[in-house]
C-alpha cells in the first residue's frame, strides 16, 4: 500500500515541518477522523420507499379492492388489479433509487492518489488514507486529495472553478500551520482544497481537513440536506386524484346501501360497490403520467438530452426563471486570445491565421514567458495562437533553454523566464503578468502609465482577462538580479484573453426570451466580466448583485431584488442555493443549469436541474433532472418546446379520461337504481380502463404541438390542471357520451332484448363513444381526419378487440354477451357518430383557449 522512497529534504521550510507524520500517528488519526471520503447518505431502503407510496389514498383503495376480490373468489380480477398497483409502485421505486446515487459520485470525484511525507520519506498512498496533519507534496496536474495550508510553493496556480465558478486559475502563496482557514476563491490564498486541480507550479502543504470536513465535503453535506424540488404537475395531479377518490368512496358507499336495502342481497351489493369503485377510481392518471413522461424522455433523447427525472420534462415547459452558470455553460470553459495591443495599435485576432508584423514580438515573448508544455489555460491559449499564426517563423524558439526563473509574488504579480539561445550573445528575458505589474517593471513615464492603464481598463470592461508582456536582455557573465524589478525591461504590449461564448448560446437565450423565460446568469467571476458577458448575450446588465452584497441582504430584501437583477457575480455555492430558494419563494418555477460540483446543491433544489453532459461532473449529472449530452443550449430550447407540448397534450388526455368515466359510472349505477340486474362486470371495466385508456393516452402524447407554443408566456405556477373551460368542456363531453349510452340502454330494454344482449349493446356503445371522445379532444390545429402516427394501430387495435369479444364464443361467454354481430356493429357506428358530431358542434364555443 505504501511505497517508501529516499528521504526528502526541503528548502525554505522549517525543519520541524518536513518530517511529516509517522506511520503510527497516521493510523491513529485515521481511526479518529475516518477515511478521507465523503460520508454516504443513509439510503432509503426498498420497503421505506414502498411504504411511502402505499400511504397515497389511491393505492390504499386499489389494494383494498384487490383484497375484497380475493375474498369474493374473483382471483383473476384481483390479480389484474394488484398487478397494476405493483407496476406503478415499481416505476416509482426505480426513480427514487436513481436519486440516491449522487453522493457516491461525489466520493469517487474526491478520492485521488496522493504523495505524502511519512517518517521523513515520500510515499504514494490512496487519497482516502490521507489524514489531518499529513504533509502533501503538490505538483502541476495533481488533483488535491484534501484541504491543506501551504507551507511552501513555487508559481503555484489552482483551478478552483469546481468550487467557486471562477474560470481563471488562482495564484497561491505560502502561509503557516497556524493560518486561519478561509473560503475558496481569490488570489494569494495560502490554502489548497480537496478536488481542485493544480494547473501550474509545485508546493508543500499540511492537511487541515479531510472527508466531510473539507470544502468539497461541505458541498456534499449541503447536497444531502437539500430538499429536491417537487413537480407542480405532480402536486396538482395528487390533489385531483384525492378529490376523485373522495367522490368514488361516497358513490360506492351510497350504491352499496341502496342495493342492500332495496334488494336484500348484501353480497351482490358489495359486488356492485366494488364494480363502481373500479369505474370511478382514477388509476389511469398515474399511468398517463408515466406514459407521457417516458415517451417524452424518449423524444428528447433524440435531441441529445438525457432525462433523469421524468416529471422534469413537463415542469421545464412551465419554467419562468432559468438560472445558468457562466463558466462551461454559457462559455466553453477554455481561454482564447481575442485582442493584442502593441505599438499603439489594437488588433482583433479572432480567426486570424497570419499575424501582422507589429504583433509578432508580443506573441513571441508571451510564449517565452510561459511554460514550454503549459497546463495553465492562458498559457495554452498563447501557444495555440503562436502555432497558428507564427508557424515556421523565427519567432518560435523550440531549441532555446530556460536558465533562470522569477516567480510571481503578492508584491509583484508577474513572472519572468530567462532564456539562452544557441546563437545569441546574450540572455533573453520574457515577462508576463498583471498589466500594472508589467508597467511597473518597465519604469514608464506617468503619461505612459495612465495611457496604458486606461487601455487595459477598457479591455477588462469588454470582458477580457488582460495580461502585460515585457522583454529584456542580460549579458553573459552577469549575476542574476535578485528580483525582477532590478532588470531593465521594455514594454511589449497587452494580451486580451476570454473564455468564449458557445456558438449557439445567444440565439438560444433569445428564444427563451420569446417564450417568456427570464434568463439569469450566476457566476463566480468579477462583476465587470459578468457585465460584459451579459451585454454580449443580450441580458440586462445595468444591475449586478455581488456575492458580498448578497450576504448583507435579508431574505425579504433579496426576494425583492431578484425581480430586478439578472446578473450575479462573485457567487459561492451556498449563495447559488440561496438564490434558487429565493426565486422559488417568489413563486417562480426555477430551472438551474450547471456543470460543476459547486452547482449540484442548486441543481437538486431547483424544480428542474439541467446538467451539462460533456463537460459536466458526475455530481452535477446525478443531481440534475435533465442532462444536455452535447452541452448545447439549442437542445435546452427544444426541451422547453417539448415540455409545453407534453403539458398541453397531457391536459387533453386527462380531460378525455374524466369524460370517459362518466358513462362508465352512469351504467354501473343506473341498472341498480332501476332495480335491474348488474349490467357491467369487473371484466368489462378492466377492458375499458386497462386497454383503451393507456392506448388513448399514447395517442394524445403523439399529438402535434400548437402553432404558437413558443410565442406565449409560461403557464402560471398555480394554474389548475383543469381550468374553468377545460373542466366544463370535459364534463360536457362526458355528459354527451352518457346521454347516448343511456338512450341505447333504454331502447334495448324497451325492444325486449335479453340481459346479455342489452349488456353487449351498452358495452359496444361505450367503446365506440370512447373512440369518439379521443377525436373530440384532439389538438385545436388538427382536423378530425389529420394523420397521427398512432392512428395506424389505435383504431385497428380498439376495433379488433371489440370485434373479438363480440364474435369469439369463449370471450362472449366470459363477458356475458349475446345477440347479432351486425346489430352490435350498427350500434357502434351510431354511438360513435352521435358522440363525435355533438362534441364537434360545441367545441368552438367551449375550447379552453376560446
Give pLDDT, residue 418.
93
The confidence band for 105, taking pLDDT boundaries of 50, 70 and 90, is very low
> Cα–Cα distance between 211 and 42 in angstroms, integer?
16
Backbone Cα Rg of the chain: 36
Specify the pLDDT at position 742: 94
State how beta strands 608-612 and 626-628 pair. Answer: parallel
Mean pLDDT for the stretch of residues 559-570: 92
pLDDT at position 84 is 55
838: Cβ–Cβ under 8 A, 6 or more apart, which residues? 736, 740
Exposure string over 780-808, b if 16+ CB within 10 A, otherwise e: eeeeeeeebebeeebeeebeebbeebbee
* pLDDT score, position 780: 61
Written as nine digits, the cell of 707 is 402553432
Among the listed residues 741, 760, 722, 620, the one whose alpha carbon sits nearest the alpha carbon of residue 324: 620
Q: Residue 846: pLDDT above 80? A: no
| Confidence band of 10 (pLDDT split at 50, 70, 90) | very low
Which of these ranges, 211-220, 413-422, 653-662, 766-775, has the smallest mean pLDDT?
Answer: 211-220
> For residue 99, what pLDDT is reported?
37
CB atoms within 10 A of CB 240: 17
Q: What is the pTM of this model?
A: 0.64
Predicted confidence (pLDDT) per residue in 744-761, tens digit: 999 999 998 998 999 999
Binned at pLDDT 50, 70 and 90, residue 167 comes out as low
Q: Sorting pLDDT into bands at 50, 70 and 90, what band is 629?
A: confident
Q: Please report the pLDDT score of residue 82 as a whole number.
A: 67
Helix spans in 99-214 (H): 102-109, 161-164
Termini Cα distance of the chain: 74
Is residue 842 predicted with pLDDT exceeding 50?
yes
In this predicted model, which residue has the larger pLDDT, 604 or 99?
Answer: 604
Give the pLDDT of residue 103: 34
User: Minimum mean pLDDT among 234-238, 535-539, 572-576: which range?
Assistant: 234-238
Mean pLDDT lowest for which of 131-145, 556-570, 579-593? 131-145
Average pLDDT over residues 790-802: 79
Q: Is 37 helix (H, G, I), strand (E, B) or coil?
A: coil
As a whole number of angstroms, the distance between CA 267 and CA 256 comes to 9
Contact between 185 and 170 under an 8 Å Cβ cutoff? The reply is: yes
Residue 15 has pLDDT above 50, yes or no: no
Which pLDDT score, from 0 to 100, does residue 19 have?
Answer: 64
* pLDDT number for residue 644: 86
Q: Tell me the sheet residues that pair with 115.
A: 124
Does the pLDDT value for residue 295 go beyond 90? no
Give the per-residue pLDDT at 512. 87
Q: What is the pLDDT, as a whole number, of residue 530?
A: 86
**Residue 535 burial (CB < 10 Å; 0-12/13-18/19+)?**
middle
- CB distance 149 to 135 below 8 Å: no
Walk across the sheet containing 414-420 and list its strands.
345-348, 336-342, 490-498, 465-474, 427-433, 414-420, 401-406
115 or 246, greater pLDDT: 115
Above 70 in pLDDT, residue 825? Answer: yes
Banded model confidence at residue 552, pLDDT cuts 50, 70, 90: very high
Lowest-pLDDT choice from 516-520, 636-640, 822-826, 833-837: 636-640
The residue among 26 and 149 whose pLDDT is bigger is 149
- State yes or no: pLDDT of 127 exceeds 50: yes
Helix (H, G, I), strand (E, B) or coil at 1: coil
Q: How confident is the model at residue 46 (pLDDT cuts 50, 70, 90)?
A: low
Tell me how long the chain is: 850
pLDDT at site 433: 92
**3-state class (DSSP) for residue 430:** strand
Residue 830: what pLDDT? 93
3-state SS record for 42-93: CCCCHHHHHHHHHCCHHHHHHHHHHHHHHHCCCHHHHHHHHHHHHHHHHHHH
Q: How far apart are CA 235 and CA 253, in angstroms?
A: 27
Of 722, 588, 710, the C-alpha closest to 654 is 722
The pLDDT score that the predictor gives to residue 110 is 36
Task: Name the residue among 518, 468, 533 with its Cα closest to residue 332.
Answer: 533
Write down the pLDDT at residue 779. 66
Grade residue 472 by pLDDT with cuts at 50, 70 and 90. very high
Q: How far is CA 401 from the centre of its chain?
A: 48
How far, in Å, are 187, 680, 682, 821 from residue 526 at the CA level? 13, 71, 67, 79
- pLDDT grade for 197, boundaries at 50, 70 and 90: confident
pLDDT at 495: 95
Three cell numbers written together for 249: 368512496
**What does DSSP assign to residue 403?**
E
Report the C-alpha gap between 46 and 179 in whole angstroms.
47
Please provide the average confidence, as pLDDT, over all residues in the chain.
79
| pLDDT given at position 449 | 93
Q: In the predicted model, what is the mean pLDDT of residues 798-806?
A: 85
Q: Distances from the Cα of 337 to the Cαs of 14, 92, 464, 466, 535, in angstroms? A: 41, 50, 9, 10, 19
Amino acid at each position: 500500500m505504501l511505497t517508501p522512497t529516499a528521504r526528502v529534504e526541503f528548502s525554505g521550510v522549517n525543519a520541524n515541518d518536513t518530517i511529516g507524520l509517522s506511520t503510527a500517528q497516521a493510523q491513529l488519526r485515521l481511526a479518529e477522523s475516518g477515511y478521507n471520503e465523503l460520508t454516504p447518505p443513509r439510503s432509503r431502503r426498498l420497503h421505506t420507499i414502498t411504504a411511502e407510496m402505499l400511504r397515497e389514498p389511491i393505492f390504499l383503495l386499489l389494494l383494498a379492492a384487490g383484497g375484497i376480490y380475493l375474498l369474493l373468489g374473483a382471483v383473476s380480477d384481483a390479480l389484474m388489479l394488484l398487478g397494476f398497483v405493483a407496476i406503478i409502485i415499481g416505476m416509482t421505486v426505480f426513480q427514487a433509487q436513481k436519486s440516491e446515487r449522487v453522493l457516491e459520485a461525489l466520493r469517487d470525484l474526491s478520492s485521488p492518489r496522493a504523495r505524502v511525507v511519512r517518517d521523513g520519506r515520500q510515499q504514494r498512498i490512496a487519497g482516502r488514507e490521507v489524514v489531518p496533519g499529513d504533509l502533501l507534496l503538490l505538483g502541476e496536474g495533481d488533483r488535491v486529495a484534501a484541504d491543506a495550508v501551504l507551507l511552501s510553493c513555487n508559481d503555484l496556480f489552482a483551478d478552483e472553478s469546481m468550487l467557486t465558478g471562477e474560470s481563471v486559475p488562482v495564484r497561491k502563496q505560502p502561509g503557516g500551520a497556524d493560518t486561519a482557514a478561509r473560503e475558496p476563491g481569490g488570489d494569494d490564498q495560502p490554502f489548497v482544497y480537496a478536488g481542485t486541480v493544480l494547473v501550474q507550479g509545485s508546493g508543500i502543504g499540511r492537511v487541515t481537513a479531510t472527508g466531510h470536513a473539507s470544502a468539497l465535503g461541505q458541498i456534499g453535506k449541503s447536497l444531502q440536506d437539500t430538499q429536491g424540488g417537487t413537480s407542480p404537475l405532480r402536486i396538482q395531479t395528487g390533489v385531483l386524484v384525492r378529490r376523485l377518490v373522495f367522490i368514488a368512496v361516497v358513490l360506492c358507499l351510497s350504491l352499496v346501501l341502496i342495493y342492500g336495502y332495496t334488494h336484500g342481497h348484501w353480497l351482490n351489493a358489495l359486488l356492485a360497490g366494488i364494480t363502481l369503485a373500479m369505474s370511478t377510481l382514477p388509476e389511469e392518471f398515474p399511468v398517463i403520467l408515466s406514459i407521457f413522461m417516458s415517451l417524452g424522455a424518449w423524444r428528447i433523447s433524440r435531441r441529445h438530452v438525457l432525462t433523469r427525472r421524468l416529471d422534469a420534462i413537463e415542469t421545464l415547459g412551465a419554467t419562468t426563471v432559468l438560472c445558468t452558470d457562466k463558466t462551461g455553460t454559457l462559455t466553453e470553459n477554455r481561454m482564447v486570445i481575442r485582442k493584442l495591443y502593441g505599438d499603439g495599435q489594437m488588433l482583433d485576432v479572432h480567426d486570424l491565421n497570419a499575424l501582422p508584423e507589429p504583433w509578432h514580438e508580443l506573441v513571441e515573448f508571451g510564449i517565452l514567458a510561459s511554460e514550454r508544455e503549459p497546463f495553465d489555460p492562458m498559457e495554452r491559449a498563447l501557444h495555440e495562437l503562436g502555432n497558428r499564426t507564427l508557424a515556421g517563423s523565427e519567432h518560435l524558439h523550440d531549441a532555446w533553454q530556460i536558465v533562470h526563473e522569477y516567480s510571481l509574488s503578492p508584491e509583484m504579480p508577474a513572472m519572468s523566464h530567462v532564456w539562452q539561445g544557441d546563437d545569441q550573445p546574450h540572455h533573453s528575458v520574457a515577462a508576463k503578468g498583471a498589466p500594472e505589474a508589467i508597467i511597473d517593471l518597465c519604469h514608464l513615464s506617468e503619461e505612459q502609465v495612465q495611457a496604458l492603464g486606461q487601455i487595459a481598463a477598457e479591455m477588462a470592461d469588454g470582458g477580457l482577462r488582460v495580461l502585460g508582456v515585457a522583454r529584456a536582455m542580460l549579458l553573459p557573465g552577469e549575476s542574476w538580479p535578485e528580483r525582477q524589478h532590478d532588470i531593465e525591461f521594455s514594454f511589449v504590449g497587452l494580451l486580451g484573453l476570454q473564455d468564449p461564448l458557445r456558438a449557439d448560446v445567444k440565439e438560444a437565450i433569445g428564444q427563451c426570451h420569446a417564450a417568456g423565460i427570464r434568463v439569469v446568469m450566476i457566476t463566480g467571476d468579477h462583476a465587470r466580466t459578468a457585465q460584459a458577458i451579459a451585454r454580449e448575450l443580450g441580458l440586462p446588465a445595468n444591475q449586478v448583485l455581488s456575492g458580498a452584497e448578497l450576504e448583507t441582504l435579508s431574505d425579504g430584501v433579496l426576494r425583492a431584488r431578484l425581480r430586478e437583477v439578472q446578473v450575479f457575480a462573485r457567487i459561492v455555492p451556498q449563495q447559488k442555493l440561496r438564490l434558487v430558494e429565493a426565486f422559488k419563494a417568489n413563486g417562480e418555477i426555477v430551472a438551474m443549469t450547471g456543470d460543476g460540483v459547486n452547482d449540484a446543491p442548486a441543481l437538486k433544489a431547483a424544480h428542474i436541474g439541467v446538467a451539462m453532459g460533456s463537460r459536466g461532473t458526475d455530481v452535477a449529472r446525478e443531481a440534475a433532472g435533465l442532462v444536455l449530452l452535447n452541452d448545447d443550449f439549442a437542445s435546452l430550447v427544444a426541451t422547453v418546446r417539448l415540455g409545453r407540448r407534453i403539458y398541453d397534450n397531457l391536459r387533453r388526455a386527462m380531460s378525455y379520461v374524466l369524460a370517459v368515466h362518466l358513462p362508465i359510472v352512469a351504467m354501473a349505477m343506473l341498472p341498480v337504481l332501476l332495480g335491474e340486474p348488474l349490467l357491467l362486470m369487473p371484466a368489462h371495466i378492466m377492458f375499458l380502463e386497462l386497454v383503451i385508456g393507456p392506448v388513448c393516452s399514447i395517442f394524445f402524447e403523439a399529438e402535434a404541438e400548437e402553432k404558437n407554443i413558443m410565442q406565449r408566456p409560461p403557464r402560471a405556477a398555480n394554474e389548475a390542471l383543469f381550468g374553468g373551460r377545460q373542466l366544463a368542456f370535459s364534463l360536457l363531453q362526458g355528459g354527451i357520451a352518457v346521454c347516448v349510452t343511456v338512450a341505447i340502454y333504454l331502447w334495448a330494454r324497451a325492444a325486449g332484448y335479453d340481459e346479455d344482449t342489452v349488456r353487449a349493446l351498452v358495452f359496444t356503445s361505450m367503446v365506440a363513444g370512447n373512440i369518439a371522445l379521443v377525436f373530440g379532444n384532439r389538438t385545436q390545429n388538427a382536423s378530425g381526419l389529420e394523420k397521427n402516427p398512432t392512428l395506424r394501430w389505435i383504431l385497428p387495435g380498439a376495433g379488433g378487440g371489440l370485434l373479438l369479444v363480440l364474435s369469439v364464443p369463449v370471450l362472449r361467454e366470459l363477458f356475458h354477451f349475446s345477440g347479432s354481430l351486425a346489430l352490435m356493429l350498427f350500434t357502434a357506428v351510431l354511438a360513435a357518430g352521435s358522440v363525435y358530431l355533438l362534441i364537434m358542434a360545441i367545441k368552438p364555443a367551449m375550447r379552453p383557449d376560446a
